[in-house]
């Protein structure tokens, strides 16, 4: 297995473990994004909207699923940034333009599309995806460890890796 390749997707083998991983990843993404945004927006005194937490949770889940595919880490981060940008566009068109909620506005940024997506934030999402991929791997390792302690057996994916080594 390549050094930066992730283990095969465990969710195909163990429903309880997969539910735990997906739940922790989604809720971690949801709350972490809201926390980070709250910290940065506290300087500007603008509100944080819960819908962005949902988008972040979905992005974390997408990255966890993507990490099960054998690709270089930088490629996964690039796909992650693209996913977030493609998620941000319909959310922005709906929330900001249709319902005029004013959750964000990139209209002052260069290379923006209707003020809802822009190149600089797409690149930021790629960099964030890199960190999220690493965080998701740490989360998986912690859940695997906890699963082993609670059940007394290693998840199938870990047992297979040890047999192959």
| Closest to 57 (Cα-Cα) out of 27, 79, 35, 84 | 27
Does residue 22 contact residue 64 with C-beta atoms inside 8 Å? yes
Q: What is the CB-side half-sphere exposure of residue 114 using CA atoms within 13 A? A: 13
Q: What average pLDDT score do residues 74-84 get?
A: 97
Q: What average pLDDT does range 61-89 have in this prediction?
A: 95
* pTM given for the model: 0.81
Residues 6 or more apart in contact with residue 165 via CB below 8 angstroms: none
Residue ranges of domains in the chain: 14-164
Q: 117 - beta bridge partners?
A: 113
Q: Which residue has the tokens 């960099």?
A: 127
Chain segment 29-52, per-residue pLDDT in tens: 999 999 998 888 776 656 778 999
Check whether 64 has a pLDDT greater than 70: yes
When pLDDT is cut at 50, 70 and 90, the band that residue 162 belongs to is: very low
Percent of the chain whose predicted confidence (pLDDT) is above 70:
84
Q: What is the pLDDT of residue 121?
A: 95
Determine which of 70-74, 84-88, 92-96, 158-162 has the lowest per-residue pLDDT on average.
158-162
Nearest-angstrom CA–CA distance, 140 and 73: 16
**Residue 5 in this model has a pLDDT that exceeds 60:** no
Which pLDDT score is estimated for 159?
Answer: 45
């Amino acid at each position: 297995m390549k050094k930066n390749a992730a283990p095969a997707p465990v969710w195909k083998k163990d429903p309880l473990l997969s539910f735990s991983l997906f739940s922790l990843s989604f809720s971690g993404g949801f709350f972490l994004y809201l926390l980070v945004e709250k910290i940065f927006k506290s300087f500007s005194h603008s509100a944080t909207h819960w819908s962005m937490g949902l988008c972040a949770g979905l992005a974390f889940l997408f990255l966890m699923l993507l990490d099960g595919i054998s690709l270089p880490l930088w490629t996964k981060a690039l796909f992650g940034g693209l996913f977030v940008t493609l998620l941000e566009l319909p959310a922005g068109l709906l929330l900001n333009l249709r319902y005029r909620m004013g959750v964000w506005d990139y209209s002052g940024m260069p290379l923006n599309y209707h003020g809802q997506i822009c190149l600089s934030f797409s690149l930021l999402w790629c960099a964030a995806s890199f960190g999220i991929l690493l965080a998701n791997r740490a989360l998986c390792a912690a859940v695997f460890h906890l699963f082993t302690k609670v059940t007394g057996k290693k998840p199938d994916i870990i047992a297979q890796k040890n047999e192959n080594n």
